[in-house]
Chains A and B, each alone.
Chain A
Amino acid sequence: AQTVTQSQPEMSVQEAETVTLSCTYDTSESDYYLFWYKQPPSRQMILVIRQEAYKQQNATENRFSVNFQKAAKSFSLKISDSQLGDAAMYFCAYRSTQKVDSSYKLIFGSGTRLLVRP
């Protein structure tokens, strides 16, 4: 079974600085998808960035980028020029390309709370 681990329960960053959130996962599959979701106090889970395992190039979305190390099974999120609105819970998630009972299951890590200091 796949597992996702986020070892940092909480991180803090100064506004305008850069922060990196860590995520490791365990799987025997060679093809899969990885995601970072943001959950602010408003509760909605917002997709921040996603990565296909077969792509060597790291995904980038504006101020958000990932460092995907497939051999090390590591998928960290870098937030550049941090803003107050980035404060939220961040969840790393894994999705297999193989269906389970005709569906795809999303497996979440335990989350990292990001605090942004003004």
Chain B
Amino acid sequence: DTEVTQTPKHLVMGMTNKKSLKCEQHMGHRAMYWYKQKAKKPPELMFVYSYEKLSINESVPSRFSPECPNSSLLNLHLHALQPEDSALYLCASSPRGGSGLNYGYTFGSGTRLTVV
């Protein structure tokens, strides 16, 4: 399995809702990432998990709450979002050591989030 699977593909939520995005990989990668991407812009890093521990939080508002229950699964819990949070949310993973041939990132196809 060489894929990163993200669910759902599309999500519409109200500003008072609570929802979660899910990301799963079975490649044995020990680093997982959440990116936010606005239209026609590059992805912006939000969070990095390394060995199931949060290692980087790029000053993301607390209405976004990441969780890494195990080495294969990454969640992003959403609460009280704003319309400006509407974007494509991409998950990615990369191998542990990140050296030699194993330094690439594998991306999922993203969740298109619309906040109304």
Contacts and interface: CB of A to CB of B under 8 A. Distances in A.
B50 A111 contact: no
Interface stretch (B11-19, B39-47, B60-68, B71-79): B39-47
Nearest to B45: A105
Interface stretch (A16-24, A38-46, A60-68, A78-86): A38-46
A37 B55 CA distance: 24
A66 B36 CA distance: 28
Given A106-B105, A109-B42, A44 B110 contact: yes
A38 B110 CA distance: 14
Contact of B50 (A37, A91, A103, A109): A103
Contacts of B103: 33, 50, 95, 104
Contacts, number: 67
B8 interface: no
Residue with the greatest number of chain A CB neighbours at <10 A, chosen from B42, B99, B105:
B42
B23 interface: no
Nearest to A111: B42
B105 to A, nearest CB: 6
A35 B40 CA distance: 19
Interface residues of B, number: 28
A76 to B, nearest CB: 18
Interface string B18-40: 00000000000001010000001
Given A43-B110, A102-B55, A104-B98, A110 B45 contact: no
B41 to A, nearest CB: 7
B11 to A, nearest CB: 14
Contacts of A108: 42-43
Contact of B48 (A89, A95, A101, A113): A101
Interface of A: 33, 35, 37, 42-47, 50, 89, 91, 95, 97, 99-106, 108-111, 113
Smallest CB-CB A-B distances: 10 pairs: A108-B42, A45-B107, A44-B109, A103-B48, A102-B55, A101-B55, A102-B50, A43-B110, A103-B55, A103-B50
